[in-house]
Amino acid sequence: MKTAPLMRAMSQMSGFQQTLVHTGQHYDRAMSDVFFEELGLPEPDAYLSVGSGTHAEQTARAMLAFEPVLLQFAPDVIIVVGDVNSTLACAVVATKLGVKIAHVEAGLRSFDRTMPEEINRILTDQIADYLFTPSRDGDVNLQKEGVDAKRVFFVGNVMIDTLIRLLPKTDPERATAAVGVKPGHFALATLHRPSNVDDPTTLTEIMKAMAVVAKQRPVVFPVHPRTRARINDLGLASLSGDVKLVEPAGYLDFLALESVASIVMTDSGGVQEETAYLGVPCLTLRPNTERPVTIESGMNRLVASRTSDIVGAVDRMVEKGKAKHTIPDLWDGHASERIARILLEQ
């Protein structure tokens, strides 16, 4: 969702030659191939097959596999997005080989260094040559960390570029019918962060909360492969009650569901951004967020991953409904174009 609009913007300008590297960190077809198809991404020029594993294993494999690819293609700059292990791994390889780095979605901070993603964000920003921030708080964070302001560019959110382009292509009626719910009368849930799914007590609390919520309104839960494995390992499927545990959705189907949900429960950064733009109430099952701008928009609220807290917050947020909200600056569908123009001018 972040790479597609960048490639699209660069392909519409003269002066770029692009090479697409798929690290294979997201190795499940439902989490990778279907997104390539729906987002109109070309076939990767290189596929690294990093796969799953510990953070150290993923990072090391990505570094080892990426170095010969970088030497082969010898680019002027590499573009890394977000905060996954591949982001940091490829950035480290590039800087040691003297290749410039552009970090898209720079400057975001949860200020929680127990999150692996926070470490990836901090370290990537320290070595990047071009830091493209999605919101003003990113600029402030980088300034406090001593990053040269000449390297920082506030451009807006590339995720929203994709949302704006593809929202008209979604079919909410079909997507809701496929999972047996009605638009505007269901809760949508996503869950994948280690702090929520790897701790048996926390995951149990969340599953119980979803079951209670499902007694009042249908809960649709597209289950991330990693999360499903934890649920099965811990024998928690029996706690789900009437929750609809469905397979992961493609981008278009998930966006369709998201746009007509009465509330979304998530621990995903991207979902926080999408709901903030769409004006859909969102409960983030985390003690912090690296996207405070979504809370400032009026549509997102943090809640502890405890049954009583989640249930109470859902009731209050649904009652509040789609309140008046603000869309953050430059979340206008043109962030990728701004990035492409900046790169051309450097």
Residue type, 309: D
DSSP class per residue in 33-64 = HHHHHHHTPPPPSEE----S--HHHHHHHHHH
Residue 83: partners with Cβ closer than 8 Å, 6 or more residues away: 105, 108, 117, 118, 120, 121, 124, 269, 290
**Token digits for 158?**
């590339």
How many other CB atoms are found less than 10 A from the CB of residue 18? 12
Residue 18: partners with Cβ closer than 8 Å, 6 or more residues away: 7, 10, 11
Query: Three-state DSSP class for 137?
Result: helix
Is 192 one of the catalytic residues? yes
Nearest to 325 by CA among 297, 301, 302, 300: 297
CA distance 169 to 114: 38
Residue among 192, 224, 325, 334 flagged as catalytic: 192
CA distance 274 to 264: 11
Q: Where are the beta strands (DSSP E) in 46-198?
A: 46-47, 77-81, 100-104, 130-133, 152-154, 187-189
CA distance 118 to 312: 29
Q: What are phi and psi of 219, to 5 degrees?
A: -115, 120
CA distance 269 to 302: 12
Catalytic positions are 192
